[in-house]
Amino acid sequence: MISPCSHITWEVKPSQLPAPGEQGAVFLHPMSLSESPFNCPLFGLIFSLGLALLFPSYWFVDRLLSCAVATSAERSQGWALRLLRLLLGVPLYLLLFLLSLPLGILGLLLWAPLHQIRRPFCYQKTSHVPPERAIEGKGTFLFISANLCLLPDGLARFSNLGHTQRRTARICNLLALPRASKEPWGMDGKSEDSASLCSTNDVLAMVETHKEDREFPSEISVGFPEGADFLCLQEVFDGRAARKLRRLLAPSFPHILYDVGPSGPYRCGFRFFNSGLFLASRYPPLAAKYFCYPNARGEDSLAAKGLLCVKVQVGVNEEQQRIVGYINCTHLHAPEADSCVRFDQMSHLLQWVADFQSENSEAGEVAVFDVLCGDLNFDNCSADDHLEQTHHLFEAYRDPCRDCAGRDRPGALGTLLRAEHLYHEAVNTPENMKRLWIGSSLLPSWQGSQTTSPSLCASPYLLHQRRLSDEGREMPICPSVAGVT
């Protein structure tokens, strides 16, 4: 599935406030996750050495596929260049792959066994939390979710996408917004880092102000919103693309979870790719856990798709209670015919979220948001997706685009673009994509799947826990990545 990104802004309220006179637990400094996925530094060095030995074989296979598979943009350039790539590129890279194979096998023998003792995610931290000081303010959080299809270049071409590294650089330029454009929660124009103090009463009052607004608050925004707090990305499978994202996003997002999920031997099979999940945050994570779906089929069984649960600290209130939020990132089973697989994964997801929050909640904490984001690989309008539409997940989490099972709210827009149309002039720039969305009568011919509903189906990307927060104040659709995913 190829989907532009969407974002949502919430004004949130805490799940519980202390009773008058009640003393909550005091948390002055957030705990920190270990950056290395290994307890022993030596294992990390061996793991990196194995990857380095594997890389030449990996890269030659990737280039071989890139020569053999053309995108629609390359096919439009004529057959001569394609023939030259086939006749020269394929034999050359095949020969180089065979020559690199002994090193690749040695690297595989070093790399694969270590997955049995490796934590299934890595953590990058590029700043330290300064001492807190009492600051009052209102709480607004902005999330961006996007499926970027950052596969190795050769495999991305099967989705009509090429030049993964170039696309990554362009996406980073769009996402790496200046940190100064939005201060952390409770700042009100003052300079401070993540763990600032904030007034939960102000947060509650601001939510109630918008509670009666029942119109779907959507708009089409050509550019990404400024000051995002969290980036929830899917299909960041390519290792070099992940490194580029980490490097270029670090100034804006000091906390990044990446390389999520096992690759290599796993249970009774072999995962060629990890989950592809990538979470960038302006707030420090307190706990994180990854769960791998046990029921993948077909090509989806080659990747370790699953659920990443993260608990973050967004501040401390006036009673010195830690204020936290929960972010749950996932990517469900892709093949359209396997509704039962997605349905079962949604059931696993709900149970895992409940288990994670039960294990990691502490007395005296105040939870202000619980968000489920990612590519669920179904929409709320297509008749073929009826099973998923009726899952009890939507009783626990609210989809801002959804009115009820089988019907979206007025203003919801479809976000699935057919791969063969990716480079067409009508959709290859953010401005053109916006014009197409505004002229909604033209959209059915461009959507990736047909829907029996007159409204345009929207794939769920951002859901929020009903018991913690009201409806999103904004839900713009951003065509900023048109032409690159």
Domain boundaries defined on the chain: 5-17+122-478, 41-116
Residue 128, Cβ density class (10 Å: 0-12 exposed, 13-18 middle, ≥19 buried): exposed
At residue 31, the pLDDT reads 54
Flag whether pLDDT at 29 surpasses 50. Answer: no
**Position 81 confidence tier, pLDDT thresholds 50, 70, 90:** confident
At residue 11's C-alpha, the angle toward residues 435 and 31, to 5°, is: 115
- Model confidence pLDDT, tens digit, residues 405-454: 878 777 666 656 666 666 666 666 666 666 665 655 445 444 544 333 33
- Measure the CA–CA gap between 352 and 356, rounded to whole angstroms: 6
- Model confidence pLDDT, tens digit, residues 208-233: 333 444 455 455 555 666 778 899 99
Residue 250 burial (CB count, 10 A): 17
- Measure the CA–CA gap between 32 and 255, rounded to whole angstroms: 10
At residue 232, the pLDDT reads 92
Phi-psi region of 86 (alpha: psi -120 to 50; beta: other; left: phi over 0): alpha
Least trusted range by pLDDT, from 266-275, 283-292, 425-434:
425-434
Strand partners, 326: 311, 370
Output the pTM of the full model: 0.80
- Measure the CA–CA gap between 302 and 272, rounded to whole angstroms: 5
At residue 201, the pLDDT reads 37
At residue 413, the pLDDT reads 64
* % of residues, the chain, pLDDT over 70: 65
Flag whether pLDDT at 344 surpasses 90. Answer: yes
Across the range 312-338, mean pLDDT stands at 88
Superfamily of domain 5-17+122-478: Endonuclease/exonuclease/phosphatase (3.60.10.10)
DSSP secondary structure letters along 148-176: EEE--HHHHGGGT---HHHHHHHHHHHH-
Least trusted range by pLDDT, from 45-49, 299-303, 333-337, 380-384:
380-384
Rounded to 5 degrees, what are φ and ψ at 215? -70, 145
DSSP secondary structure letters along 227-274: S-SEEEEEEE--HHHHHHHHHHHTTT-SEEEES-S--EEETTEEESB-
- How far does Cα 474 stand from its chain's mean position? 19
